Structure 1
């Protein structure tokens, strides 16, 4: 839930800056992430739709930027961190999107998955190196 603070530090090659636009981090809050030139769009605004901190699960909806109104009609991300029996965790991300009529995507989906995976690997490395950062 602190990604708006961590992203510019951990993934500065992708995220130039980030801030909470509205709310206090609870459901309904909106945050904006501003991207570097390596990304195909300059920013996104997302609204927190669901949060279960005890189960390490949240869902957000893209409300502005990131292709909304240009190529995408709607998009959501559902992130859940599930504990493993060995003491580690698995992060599951389900991203859904509805394209505007007549829009086709090919390489963009693959590129988005690779970028997101890279960002999560960066966060993972940080948390392993700093185990008390969010305990």
Structure 2
């Protein structure tokens, strides 16, 4: 098994608590609304939404995957940290762990740091294009959520 870790950073004009609520606490409701071209639904199949919860992300038909599961390992409203693990992966990964921290910027926005740790099966090598594609999907989701929050300033206040 191989272990590969990557760091990514994203700056937003949205305050950290607001972005955290949208992307961590209520992602199962918000993301399918914002990305209906890709995600059909996100169902909580175990837990109450907090630590220990298992969410199933259901993708639209015809995509690369039909669904995947995430387990919430940590969701801290005070430190604005969120850690989750993609589980039950069938292909080359045993699991992928994401740790996200939302921090304030002096301008009133947020600096969002994400660390991704990929646990591969066997001797699988992680390709640069896989990591790049994952970063692009995360960045696209941030931008879509940011646009929504700018258009809806009272949401997640």
TM-score w.r.t. length of structure 1: 0.89
Report the Cα distance in structure 1 between the residues aligned to 2:147 and 2:156, rounded to whole angstroms: 14
Q: Which of 102, 127, 137 is matched with 1:115 structurally?
A: 137
CA RMSD of aligned residues (A): 1.6
Q: Which of 42, 46, 49 is matched with 1:18 structurally?
A: 42
Structure 2 runs not aligned, ≥5 long: 1-24
Summarize deviations over 1:78-126 as a string: whole Å, max 9, x none: 1111111111112221111111113233222211111111011101111
Counterpart check, 1:131 vs 2:153: yes
Q: Which of 30, 46, 49 is matched with 2:73 structurally?
A: 49
Report the Cα distance in structure 2 between the residues aligned to 1:71 and 1:39, rounded to whole angstroms: 18
Count of residue pairs the alignment pairs up: 132
Name which structure has the greater RCO, CA cutoff 8 Å, separation 6+.
2
Structure 1 runs not aligned, ≥5 long: none
> Are 2:96 and 2:118, in contact at CA under 8 Å, matched by a contact in 1?
yes
Provide runs of 4+ in structure 1 moved above 4 Å.
none
Counterpart check, 1:58 vs 2:58: no
